[in-house]
Structure 1
Amino acid sequence: MRKKEATILIIDDDDDILFSARISLKKYFTEIITINSPKKIGNILIDSIVDVVLLDMNYHIGFEDGKEGLYWLKYIKELSAETTVILMTAFGSVNLAVEAIKQGASDFILKPWNTEKLFGIVSAGVELARSKRKTTQWKTVHDKNNEEFHERSEHIIGNSVAMQSAIQLVKKVAPTDANILILGENGTGKYVFAKEIHIESNRKNAPFIHVDLGSLNENLFESELFGYVKGAFTDAHKDSIGRFELAKGGTIFLDEIGNLSLHLQAKLLTVIQNRKITRLGEGKERKIDVRIICATNAPIHEMVEEKTFRQDLLFRINTIELNLPPLRERQEDILILAKYFLKRLNKKYRKNIQGFTKEATNELSNYFWPGNIREVEHIIERAVIMTEENTIQLNDLQFSKKKLGVSIDNNLNLEETEKLLIQKALEKHNGNISKAAKDLGLTRAALYRRLEKYNL
């Protein structure tokens, strides 16, 4: 039998007991420490990660009421809360056992013990200690992430009318429980706005659960979102809660909802209507208390007309609709974002780049930005890493020179470039507006406006 990686500390003033316990346990666990006085406990707990302490209840002749054991139990729990403490004594008492467990002991064993029973109790104690340690680590990470999460999303910034309008809408709807649908191209900040809505809401201290429906395997949809019970399918070895239950009291953000197939849309609609989920393999319904925010870059209203997205589901998810404009439609915000990312990336890479040359500034302002805010961050980050100057030069900015296979010459201005891209997209898709709009990262309505603008 392979030894379990664990450290067991045994404390008793009887050397025979120490010897017997060591012999009984050393074949099962990698490290057994024995001491005959509890006064040595502190140094050991400071120097080692102890999984289980087997603690005698009495150390002085004539004192057999177990108070010494309770004192040292409290001392151990104060020094190492995750360590499992098992009390042992030759003078069994139900009341004493109850009191010990109330004060933090996990179990109570009488001397002399049965070796198999001792191993079983200690083994369970090791697993309990590890579980507590993992919980503590998770809580530490969670608290840190939660603190970072609740920092304001500074790149929800911009002086443009469109951005200010979006920010004002967030302030109005965040305190409500209304379902919100966020529309916008890739990189326009849909996740950031969903997060901001949660932070500004009454649910801010509860979880914010992000689900990328675009990357979720269709076969895993129900098990991931609704959970499952042990035995529901081949690999279901234990019960598992889904994302809706994880978001209890908080917000669930269903990203890329336009990617769902019609039959999965029907399942989601049922959950949103009834506010109940049923775990896979289980018969009973469970109530859910979540705020639902959805997002997509797809032309979802056109999809309803084309019967590829359910109208009743759209009605359910867009009590409030938030449209995020592409960066090319709010050019006054481009340099604000570029300077924001430069400041942040200076700190990240420990640099002191002062700004952008005039030529770099002009290029930033006139570029088409098909990748929106995400592309700004990417291009500025690369420039910060690569530049050897104290300002970003034009040649530090590596813009994409191709879109849909079209070469863009440096002498094309913004409107000429946009017109050319639209023409090539229409040629590529034989005049199909929906497909051309999707390739360009536009809604059909936005593409129609541009066709009228350029007389195409």
Structure 2
Amino acid sequence: MEKLLIVDDDKGIQKQLKWSLSDYDVVLAGDRETALAAVRRHEPKVITLDLGLPPDEANASEGLAALQEILTIAPHTKVIVITGNDDRTNALAAISAGAYDFYQKPIETDVINVIVARAFSVAAIEEENRKMRAVAGSDIGIIGNSESIERLRMMVKRIAPTGITALLLGESGTGKEVTANAVHLASDRKKKPFIAINCASIPETLLESELFGFEKGAFTGAHRTTKGKIECAEGGTLFLDEIGDMPYSLQAKLLRFLQEKSIERLGGRQEILVDVRVVCATNQNLEQMVADKTFREDLFYRVSEITLNIPPLRDRDEDVIILSQYFLQHYAIEYKRNVKSFSEDALSAIKSHKWPGNIRELQNKVKSSVIMTTGTQVTAIDLGFLEHQDKSFELSLNLRVVREQAESIAIQKAYALSEGNMSKAADLLGVTRPTLYSLIEKYELKINA
């Protein structure tokens, strides 16, 4: 059972809360000193705290002091402040000081149970996220603990403090921008801007002005002087994605900027000094492009002072589940869904899939599955891997088995598409609501109907 600390000097309230919250292993404390000792000894994830503690029962000073000390000792603890009906001001002060939530007396069993259960749930998710970040090394955004990712993370941390220009090589969707941002976050430039620009997504006629900016009157429509991306990244990092798609005519101007650390805006005559770290990326073979005279050789050597190869997801077997769990928790919080984990068939599907779209494909799959799932577990069907459904369904010649499983799948899909609206789900399935409820009961589907 989860440890729950109740801090209240009123013995009657202590007994009422202990009875109301009987699903937890309750520890009691009547004053600040006892409460702090209990926090150190039992390390409860959730605490209910009455602000009117002795020796200042009539005011909130002792309770607020206890709150501050509790969060100093255990900053991740969820503290639920319990106050009187006319004490909203102090409750809000407690929230500002770091309390998770507040509840006003009189105590109602159902309400306090919901608040406490939610606090434990949030605490568990946050703890899992912290563990994942510690294991996966996501402090700079690079998630995973495979050998290739450990090597990449080590290289990022080594080059980050320097001003060296890095070239990131990898397939589309492997996380080149994430890696570039990791270089930025691990450097002393992290408090300055990180500016990314995709050289392939901007028309050739606009790319130069996007990078270097322009003076008023430089061309038709230039009604005011505008800074380019390079100037906007002053003091920080400029990420040039898909640099292999940069027009040949613009490559010389980029080379001059990298060498001289100065630019001229379009239509300008003044040299502008800039302090910008440059990281480039491409999924093309720049050496072959140099041989084909489509990429400048001098620029190639300038942007590839050091080269980092980002491995595709198919070569990171042990990272796929870590990334999946990371995305699951992230989107469960973002979309407020009560999704906790992957089912066995989902994990099997994730492990066996080759992920041609790399991390981007995985991220999109998990995001849609969190939205579509009707339970607390994401299944292979939610992920879109129908081939990983129950093998007995694939191989069975028993029409009853085939019909039952097909109906179960259809009901779950309709429920997800209708976002839990049973009337809409019944309409999608072409049945009445009573019929739908009967089928849910018959197949023992885990739907919150």
Contact 2:140 2:185 in 1 (8 A): no
Alignment-derived partner of residue 70 in structure 1: none
Contact 2:331 2:370 in 1 (8 A): yes
Pick aligned residue for 1:323 from 300, 309, 312: 309
SS in 2 for 1:215: coil
Mapped partners of 2:246, 2:176: distance in 1? 18
Mapped partners of 1:399, 1:190: distance in 2? 27
- The AA in structure 2 aligned to 1:233 is F
1:221, CA displacement in angstroms? 2.0
Q: 1:148-163 alignment to 2 at 5 Å?
A: 156-163=142-149
Alignment-derived partner of residue 413 in structure 2: none
Contact 1:153 1:192 in 2 (8 A): no
> Per-residue CA shift, 1:433-452, capped at 9, x if unaligned?
xxxxxxxxxxxxxxxxxxxx
> Per-residue CA shift, 1:357-410, capped at 9, x if unaligned?
222111100101011111111001111111112211121112599xxxxxxxx9
Alignment-derived partner of residue 33 in structure 1: none
Pick aligned residue for 1:267 from 228, 253, 266: 253
Pick aligned residue for 1:238 from 210, 224, 228: 224
1:154, CA displacement in angstroms? 6.7
Structure 2 length-normalised TM: 0.54
- The AA in structure 2 aligned to 1:341 is F
Contact 1:228 1:279 in 2 (8 A): yes
Alignment-derived partner of residue 302 in structure 1: 288
Mapped partners of 1:358, 1:229: distance in 2? 60
Alignment-derived partner of residue 248 in structure 1: 234
Mapped partners of 2:372, 2:339: distance in 1? 12
Q: 1:154 to 1:369 in 2, by over 3 A?
A: farther
Gaps of 5+ in 2: 1-136, 388-393, 396-449
Mapped partners of 2:288, 2:351: distance in 1? 32
* Cα RMSD, aligned residues only: 2.1
1:220, CA displacement in angstroms? 1.3
Greater Rg by CA: 1
Q: 1:4-403 alignment to 2 at 5 Å?
A: 156-398=142-384
Contact 1:155 1:340 in 2 (8 A): no
Contact 1:223 1:280 in 2 (8 A): yes
Mapped partners of 1:322, 1:188: distance in 2? 12
Mapped partners of 2:321, 2:381: distance in 1? 17
> Per-residue CA shift, 1:309-330, capped at 9, x if unaligned?
2221111011111110000011
Mapped partners of 1:284, 1:190: distance in 2? 34
- The AA in structure 2 aligned to 1:386 is M
SS in 2 for 1:307: coil
Gaps of 5+ in 1: 1-150, 402-409, 412-456
Contact 2:140 2:182 in 1 (8 A): no
Structure 1 length-normalised TM: 0.53
> Per-residue CA shift, 1:98-157, capped at 9, x if unaligned?
xxxxxxxxxxxxxxxxxxxxxxxxxxxxxxxxxxxxxxxxxxxxxxxxxxxxx9667512
SS in 1 for 2:162: coil
1:306, CA displacement in angstroms? 2.5
SS in 1 for 2:377: coil
1:204, CA displacement in angstroms? 1.6
Q: Identity over the aligned pairs, expressed in percent?
A: 46
Contact 1:155 1:337 in 2 (8 A): no
Mapped partners of 2:209, 2:243: distance in 1? 17
Mapped partners of 1:307, 1:386: distance in 2? 49
Q: 1:429-444 alignment to 2 at 5 Å?
A: none
SS in 2 for 1:214: coil
1:159, CA displacement in angstroms? 1.8
- The AA in structure 1 aligned to 2:287 is H
Mapped partners of 1:357, 1:199: distance in 2? 35
1:161, CA displacement in angstroms? 0.8
1:287, CA displacement in angstroms? 1.5
Contact 1:379 1:399 in 2 (8 A): no
Mapped partners of 2:173, 2:262: distance in 1? 33
Mapped partners of 1:155, 1:188: distance in 2? 13
Contact 2:199 2:240 in 1 (8 A): yes
1:217, CA displacement in angstroms? 1.4
- The AA in structure 2 aligned to 1:195 is N
Mapped partners of 1:322, 1:283: distance in 2? 37
1:294, CA displacement in angstroms? 0.6
SS in 1 for 2:174: coil
Mapped partners of 2:314, 2:370: distance in 1? 23
Contact 2:343 2:377 in 1 (8 A): yes
- The AA in structure 1 aligned to 2:321 is L
Mapped partners of 2:181, 2:303: distance in 1? 17
Contact 1:184 1:296 in 2 (8 A): yes
Q: 1:337 to 1:298 in 2, by over 3 A?
A: same
